Amino acid sequence: MVIGYGFADTHINDHIREGAAAGTKLFIIDPAGVDAINTLLFRNLYNFGNSLQDILLGASRRELLPTLLRDTVERSKIMRFFS
């Protein structure tokens, strides 16, 4: 699960890509939702966003604390990632 990371650090992205190649699945919590990786497609950063499409299980655009405290539907979506 990635929370609030903008996918702009190639060093970290390389590790995420290695994890993806090994079968890691990804869920993103970010105000941009899945667009947090899609914005990289428009910057042409070594096709990183496309490399994550197959491992992406979902995304949430909502703030984490209110989601955990009050939003049962969105919280269920997040919790499915762990099951």
Tens of pLDDT, residues 19-32: 888 998 999 999 98
15-72 residue pLDDT tens: 988 888 899 899 999 998 888 887 655 555 556 666 777 888 889 999 999 999 999 9
- For residues 70 and 56, what is the distance between their CA atoms, to the nearest angstrom? 25
Number of alpha helices (DSSP H) and beta strands (DSSP E) in the chain = 5, 3
- For residues 71 and 74, what is the distance between their CA atoms, to the nearest angstrom? 6
Please state the pTM of the whole predicted model.
0.79
Rg (CA), the chain: 13
DSSP reduced 3-state for 26: strand
- Extract the tokens encoding 26: 């990804």
